[in-house]
Amino acid sequence: MRIRLLFLLLLTVGTSDATFLSRRSESLIRTANNAGRHVIKRSAGLAHNLRLAYNGLRIQQQPGSAKMYCVNLPSNATGLTGGGGGGAAVSSSTVSQSGGGSTVTAPAPSPSGSANVSSPWKVAQSYQGSTFFDGWDFTNAADVTTDGIAQYIDQNTAQSANIIEINSAGNAVMRVETTPQVTGNRQSIRITTQYSYTGGLIILDAVHMPTGCGTWPAFWSNGPNWPVGGEIDMVEGVNDYTNNQATLHTDVGCTMPSSDPAALNITGTLIGTTDCSAADTGNAGCGIRASQTNSFGAAFNDINGGVYATLWDNAGISVFFFPRSAIPADITADAPQPSTWGQPMANFPASTCSPFKFFYNHTAIFDTTLCGVWAGAVWSAAGVPGQDQSCAQRTGVATCEDFVRSNGTAFSEAYWEVASVKIYQMSSD
Ligand SMILES: *[C@@H]1O[C@H](CO)[C@@H](O)[C@H](O)[C@H]1NC(C)=O
Ligand SMILES: *[C@@H]1O[C@H](CO)[C@@H](O)[C@H](O)[C@H]1NC(C)=O
Ligand SMILES: *[C@@H]1O[C@H](CO)[C@@H](O)[C@H](O)[C@H]1NC(C)=O
Ligand SMILES: *[C@@H]1O[C@H](CO)[C@@H](O)[C@H](O)[C@H]1NC(C)=O
Ligand SMILES: *[C@@H]1O[C@H](CO)[C@@H](O)[C@H](O)[C@H]1NC(C)=O
């Protein structure tokens, strides 16, 4: 009962109207929204989440800042418009926006290599090797969307500071600044594809991802006018977590048909509500946690990572995880056949959430923020897989911000090492 009352209270202060928030600039309301969305969304049980949400009310806001409380910048704020673009483009593919399916108007050429499997999916955009960073926009601003203390920096600055590089293995590395002590924000990256797409198959091959107390990395995508264009969080977690979480945030009307993993045909488990609407859920959305204990963080890194494949088609949106040792041959061959992959970790069926009404014109994003309304809010919490001991206990530092600012060496593992990101579209023939 107490849980229910708390939940209603959080819903009462929840809103998706940014102007409402700026009119009422009380940090308390804003923080309640932050905590409501991120903490409910992302922790083990509702009671646990709500307790954390209330702890979240005490998070300090930076005075005078006009923060949005959602993960998204407005699409005009980072130059995200348009498709095609990237120097890494394999073709001049453009995505059709018309309803029912994902199509390319200019089919990509067949990928080179030993593809021996027939697949309707063709590479439309490929980011890998020495040209990995071509075709991404670098956000050059503080993390204003999730209240993190990351300072996102532009490409030249990141290169000069060795925050990004293509390493000797040919992989793209995206680090967090490891300067021992900083007084304000710690440098990090947030990059967004210039290419936009509606439907498709997005395959990330990562060798390493950021991990450790204070970190909050994500590989995700979103559309215009959040939450109207939808948000798909493909890979996300905080601190020492070892199990990935996939989450949708949408306009009102997108739900999941069941909370039962068997009915959803998934290996993961639903964390909170089946309602994916940001407005209905105090921005929580609908999240599914992977059951694989090596699907995120240090445990993922220990196995040299693996592949995340997100299928967005007429059947809905599903996310598959394959550890490095079990990557299907059809993926390696650039001829993916999702129907052969077995159960996904997460699945959001089209039956109760139209994948082309609630999601369109997405761009894919990598970021690593620090603290903020998830990693910071759960700093003193334990119990989520990978987090047997809270970060407060493990570091002996009372707040996430103090730890992040005072201990740069702790961020030596806070890096993405990405072999490739490939975005496939259905061939039109
Ligand atoms: C982005 O669009 C919003 C709404 O149209 C507008 O208020 C804002 O000034 C724009 N921002 C930039 C950086 O153009
Ligand atoms: C390619 O397909 C042929 C015919 O199905 C098969 O005999 C051959 O072993 C396959 N080669 C590879 C590398 O999978
Ligand atoms: C679950 O997914 C598997 C693999 O795609 C499929 O073979 C099976 O028919 C699905 N089961 C249900 C109940 O949808
Ligand atoms: C989606 O992208 C298409 C193609 O670039 C564009 O014509 C359309 O206006 C976009 N829709 C929205 C709502 O931004
Ligand atoms: C920095 O953090 C690491 C990892 O938590 C820890 O081992 C180390 O003792 C910390 N150093 C200082 C000076 O606090």
pLDDT tens figures, 90-123: 333 333 333 333 433 333 333 444 445 689 999 9
Please, which residues have CB within 8 angstroms of residue 94's CB and are 6 or more apart in sequence? 83, 84, 104, 105, 106
Residue 77 CB less than 6 A away from ligand 1: yes
Distance of CA 2 to the CA centre of its chain: 31
Domain CATH for 382: 2.60.120.200
Residue 303 domain-assigned? yes
> Comparing C-alpha atoms, which of 217, 245, 249, 218 is closest to residue 232?
249
Q: Which residue, by CA, sits nearest to atom 8 of ligand 5?
A: 410
- Ligand 2: atom nearest CA of 114 is 13
119 domain-assigned = yes
Distance of alpha carbon 357 from alpha carbon 230, whole angstroms: 9
> Ligand 5 mean position to 219 CA, how many Å?
27
Establish if 172 belongs to a structural domain.
Answer: yes
Does the beta carbon of 74 sit less than 6 angstroms from any atom of ligand 1? yes
342 lines ligand 3 (CB under 6 A): yes
Amino acid (1-letter code) at residue 304? N
116 lines ligand 2 (CB under 6 A): yes
pLDDT in tens, 314-345: 999 999 999 999 999 999 999 999 999 999 99
Q: Please pick, among 26, 165, 236, 413, the residue that the annotation labels catalytic.
A: 236
Per-residue pLDDT reduced to its tens digit, 55-85: 333 222 223 222 222 333 233 222 222 333 3
Q: What is the 3-state secondary structure (H, E, C) of 318-353?
A: EEEEEEHHHCCHHHHCCCCCHHHCCCCCEEEEHHHC
pTM: 0.76
Our separate counts of H helices and E strands in the chain read: 11, 18
Q: What is the pLDDT of residues 236-295, one digit of tens each?
A: 999 999 999 999 999 999 999 999 999 999 999 999 999 999 999 888 899 999 999 999
Backbone angles phi, psi at 104, to 5 degrees: -115, 140
Closest by CA to 2, choosing from 55, 54, 47, 53, is: 47
Distances (CA, A) of 188 to 70, 177, 381: 19, 6, 25
Which ligand is in closest contact with the Cα of 335? Answer: 2
Nearest CA to ligand 1 atom 5: 76
Cα of 353 vs centre of ligand 4, distance in Å, is 20
Number of domains in the chain: 1
Evaluate whether residue 95 is within a structural domain. yes
Does residue 265's CB lie within 6 angstroms of at least one atom of ligand 3?
Answer: yes
| CA of 411 relative to ligand 5 center, distance in Å | 10
Helices 2-13, 46-56: crossing angle, 10 deg rounding: 50
Query: Is 211 contained in some domain?
Result: yes
Contact 177, 162 (CB under 8 A): no
Ligand nearest to the CA of 329: 2
Q: Please determine, for residue 162, whether its predicted confidence score (pLDDT) is greater than 90.
A: yes
> If you measure from the C-alpha of residue 114 to the centroid of ligand 2, how many angstroms do you get, rounded to a whole number?
10
Q: Using CA atoms, how far apart are residues 38 and 71, in angstroms rounded to an integer?
A: 9
417 an active-site residue?
no
Statement: residue 421 has pLDDT above 80:
yes
Classify the phi-psi angles of 270: left when phi > 0, otherwise alpha if psi is within -120 to 50, otherwise beta.
beta
Q: How far is the CA of 333 from the centre of ligand 2 (A)?
A: 12
Domain membership flag for residue 391? yes
Mind listing the pLDDT tens digit for each residue in 1-48?
Answer: 332 322 332 333 333 333 333 333 333 333 444 444 443 333 323 323
Choose the catalytic residue: 231, 401, 413, 417. Answer: 231
Pocket-forming residues, ligand 5, beta carbon under 6 Å: 395, 407, 409-410
Mean pLDDT across the chain: 80
Q: Which residues contact 168 (CB under 8 A, 6 or more apart)?
A: none
Does 191 fall in a domain?
Answer: yes
Task: Give the residue numbers spanning the domain of 85.
Answer: 69-426
Residue 45 domain flag:
no
